[in-house]
Amino acid sequence: MSNYDFEDKPKSRLDIWDMLSLLTLLMTLCIGLYFVAVYMSPNAAYNPFSPERAFVGQLPTATITPIQLLPTWTPTQAAITDTPTLTLVPTFTLEPTVTVVSLITPSDTPTPTATPKAPFNATTTYIDSTIIHPEAACNWQGVAGTIVDSNNADMIGITVRLTGFYNGKTQNSLTVSGVAPAYGKSGFEFFLGTVPISSDGLLSIQILDQAGLPLSGNIEIDTFSDCSKNLVLVKFKKNP
């Protein structure tokens, strides 16, 4: 070991830069601990910016203002300066009606035309049917008659029509003069029923020409339940 020379090494020492580094590290650590302490206890005495002391005496005092109703509106009546003048509506006057005056005096008065009279008139009687139908006794009712000219001569082949209502049924029957000679050469007959009944103007009889035009008026006839009046006898006679 004598071949080696051992020299004494100088002892390590801290220079000024090392001290500053240590001091900076220590201050950083202290500041960090301080911030942690403030974070944990923000209202501690060592926190100059404590929330409890930051706004003491700075918050404004609330002033309560009572709510007041709006003043009542009072309508102001406008002064009427002009009085309106009423204007009357004009009265409507009707126009005069024109009156036609004829200056020519009529000389002739028209004569009314006479209503033409039917070529035939009729007479009606009510008799007992046993005069013609004795075998039927009172069990018969009908209408019959004759047709003659102005000289009472029988007229054969003239149409006779019976219409109306009898015993609740409609009647519309035709025959010709001369088919019932028991009443005369121009006799005709309509059979109504086997039981005489009463009716008032429900049946009518009329004679017609070959063209179907009326030769007489429409003669209304009655019926009776009385056996002495169960045959209606109608005689048509031509007017002179």
What backbone phi and psi angles, to 5 degrees, belong to 197?
A: -130, 165
Reading the block at residue 212, the tokens are: 């179907």
Residues 159 and 214: their CA atoms lie apart, in Å, by: 10
Q: Encode the chain (240 residues) as per-residue pLDDT tens digits.
A: 455 454 555 555 668 888 888 889 999 999 988 888 878 877 777 777 777 766 555 555 666 666 666 666 665 655 555 666 666 666 656 666 666 665 656 566 666 665 578 999 999 999 999 999 999 999 999 999 999 999 999 999 999 999 999 999 999 999 999 999 999 999 999 999 999 999 999 999 999 999 999 999 999 999 999 999 999 999 999 999
CA 240/CA 148 separation, integer angstroms: 11
Q: List the beta bridge partners of residue 154.
A: 148
Superfamily holding 120-238: Immunoglobulins (2.60.40.10)
The residues spanned by each domain of the chain are: 15-53, 120-238
